[in-house]
């Protein structure tokens, strides 16, 4: 989970530096997308664990 969020923030910073944005738009957007992907991944894993227990 942490690696996904880190990579989202890292590439967001790189895009902001490349396109010289002032409001860090890419960093915020990619970090939020990475958080959503991480959350979805955790929920999918929990769902699989719960199926195995039944």
Chain segment 3-23, per-residue pLDDT in tens: 999 999 999 999 999 999 999
Q: With 90 as the cut, is the pLDDT of residue 29 above it?
A: yes
Chain segment 30-41, per-residue pLDDT in tens: 999 999 999 999
Q: Would you kindly state where each structural domain of the chain is located, as residue ranges?
A: 2-53
Write down the pLDDT at residue 16.
98
Concatenate the DSSP letters of all residues of 10-47 into one string: HHHHHHHHHHT-SS-HHHHHHHHHHHHHHHHHHHHHHH
State which H helix or E strand residue 7 sits in: helix 2-19
30-37 LR contacts (CB < 8 Å, sep 24+): 31/5, 32/8, 33/8, 34/4, 34/5, 34/7, 34/8, 34/9, 35/5, 35/8, 37/4, 37/8
């Amino acid at each position: 989970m942490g690696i996904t969020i880190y990579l989202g923030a890292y590439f967001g910073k790189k895009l902001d530096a490349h396109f010289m944005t002032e409001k860090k738009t890419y960093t915020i957007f990619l970090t939020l997308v990475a958080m959503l992907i991480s959350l979805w991944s955790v929920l999918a894993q929990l769902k699989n664990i719960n199926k195995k227990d039944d």
